[in-house]
Amino acid sequence: MQTEQSSYRKKRYLVYGIASLILFTFPFIKIHGNQIFLLSFDHKQLHLLGTVFDIQEFYLMPFLLIMLFVGIFFITTLAGRMWCGWACPQTIFRVMYRDLLQTKIFGLRKRISNKQEKMDLSSPIAKIKAVLAFLIIAVLCLLAAANLMFFFTPPGEFFAYITDPLNHRILMGFWLGFGCFFILDITFIRENFCIYMCPYCRVQSVLYDNDTIMPIYNYYRGGMVYDTKGVKNPLAPQKQNPQNECTNCNQCVRVCPTHIDIRKGMQLECINCLECADACASVMGKLGKKSLVTWRSSASLEKNEKVKIVRFKTIGYVIILALVFALLFIVGSKKETMLLNINRTTELYEIRSHHVVDNNYIMLFHNTDTQDHMMYFEILDGKGESIAHLLEIVTPKEPFKVKAGKKNRQVVRIATKESLEKGDHDIIIRAFAVDAKDQVFVERKTKFIYPDTKLLKD
């Protein structure tokens, strides 16, 4: 029974370690020189799995947001507040501060199994230890805030910016702002954040159903401690009926970080840490019995059957996630290798002698590739056929260099070689890298205006 006793806590610590490792190393892992995820407001870029998307390609964001929300709905419907107890930085840092620093290292609290007990700060040594614990967690909180910033500012740039704080006040403000809030949250607000401030806590109950897995007290075995209205029975379970297994030791209540009694049923405050299940496993283990608090669904308890993981709702969420992921993949793989913006100048056209008409444009060539390129363009008709015999590029005459990730603005003049029909003609500008014409290119539609022939000069 000893194995069952500490099983959830040990597993949780392992998950904390893995989650922290992933979060801290993620911004430093690069694919093709780009981060796995970076939303840079500075460079107006999104890095996703090593691919760089410009701000004009942010059409991917809705897919990511849909995946994030559907993913949250799916996990919550399936396993309740699994995230809160097992991977949320708030919980991980609270465990580090309260259980590791204050309890295990500095001995300010007697035991992890009693989170209701106040710290003993009566001696000067205890006060010094408390300050030390605070300073250690404060440094860790600032590191965590920096880690959060790495998803918005590449780590290399972040370290360079903080050496010149006066010229990077916004970044410093965000970093220190997040850091100070995190310190305040971990040391002062504590689990009140999970209960009163976290928006996820508010929506979870809407997403729960009878098959959602959560910590559940088995009142069939243990006996009713609270009635259906949540009023506590004045008699302890075994006084109500000697067959009831709950010894009313209150270990499950003392160990709870949010100070609730799981025997009352599902409560908004429960962060799914399963400390109560471990505590009861220890008590019941000594009596040769299994824990009265287990991680299962209310339907499985009522019907005394296995938890139903595959059900209509969960299948639906998986299908939606798969569809959105497939769409994201398809749309993401169609990413253009360069970008082109075409604007008309205020002067739509210019009439020259011998029926020659010029049209002027401002074109912005954006090299989204990781290499510099010489760029140029050609003119096609609306069907994509060359019309070099009808229209010619007057300026620019030669290809021009666009550095990797940079933009180049060109004033473009296109002139007729022959008379055209009066009106707006659909044309396509096919811009390309001269050295990789078929790999790095983009096509944009625009119009060429040919005025009324009465206006034309001979």
Using CB under 6 A, count the residues that bind ligand SF4: 29
Q: Which of 421, 426, 424 is nearest to 445 (CA)?
A: 426
Q: Does 339 bind ligand SF4 (CB under 6 A)?
A: no
Site stretch for ligand SF4 (CB under 6 A), options 138-146, 255-263, 340-348, 390-398: 255-263
Of residues 169-198, those binding ligand SF4 (CB under 6 A): none
User: Residue 306 CB, nearest distance to ligand SF4 (Å)?
Assistant: 21
Cross-strand pairs, 357: 351
Q: Does 294 bind ligand SF4 (CB under 6 A)?
A: no
Query: 77 or 359: whose CB is closer to ligand SF4?
Result: 77
Q: Does 292 bind ligand SF4 (CB under 6 A)?
A: yes
- Starting at the earlier edge strand, list the strands of the sheet with 407-416: 338-351, 357-367, 407-416, 391-395
Query: 231 or 330: whose CB is closer to ligand SF4?
Result: 231
**Measured CA distances, 420 to 42, 381, 390, 425, 444 (Å):** 46, 13, 8, 9, 21
What does DSSP assign to residue 454? G
Site stretch for ligand SF4 (CB under 6 A), options 63-71, 98-106, 138-146, 243-251: 243-251
Query: 5 or 251: whose CB is closer to ligand SF4?
Result: 251
Q: Does 247 bind ligand SF4 (CB under 6 A)?
A: yes
Query: 129 or 263: whose CB is closer to ligand SF4?
Result: 263
For tokens 């760089």, the residue is 52
Q: Which of 277, 194, 271, 263 is nearest to 230 (CA)?
A: 263
Angle between helices 169-184 and 124-149 (to 10 degrees): 140
CA–centroid distance for 39 within its chain: 10
The backbone torsions φ and ψ at residue 107, rounded to the nearest 5 degrees and listed phi first, read 65, 25
Q: Does 369 bind ligand SF4 (CB under 6 A)?
A: no
Query: 152 or 226: whose CB is closer to ligand SF4?
Result: 226
User: Residue 311 CB, nearest distance to ligand SF4 (Å)?
Assistant: 23
Query: 211 or 275: whose CB is closer to ligand SF4?
Result: 275
DSSP per position, 399-438: -EEE-TT-EEEEEEEEEESS---SEEEEEEEEEEEGGGTT
Q: Residue 354, class by beta-carbon neighbours within 10 Å (0-12 exposed, 13-18 middle, 19+ buried)?
A: exposed
Host H or E run for residue 93: helix 89-94
Query: 250 or 408: whose CB is closer to ligand SF4?
Result: 250
Q: Does 223 bind ligand SF4 (CB under 6 A)?
A: no
User: Residue 277 CB, nearest distance to ligand SF4 (Å)?
Assistant: 7
User: Residue 208 CB, nearest distance to ligand SF4 (Å)?
Assistant: 14
Q: Which of 290, 271, 305 is nearest to 79 (CA)?
A: 271
Choice from 150, 275, 296, 450 touching ligand SF4 (CB under 6 A): 275
CB 453 within 8 A of CB 349: no
Q: Does 249 bind ligand SF4 (CB under 6 A)?
A: yes
Site residues (vs ligand SF4, CB under 6 A): 215, 217, 222, 246-252, 255-258, 260, 262-263, 270-276, 279-280, 283, 292-293
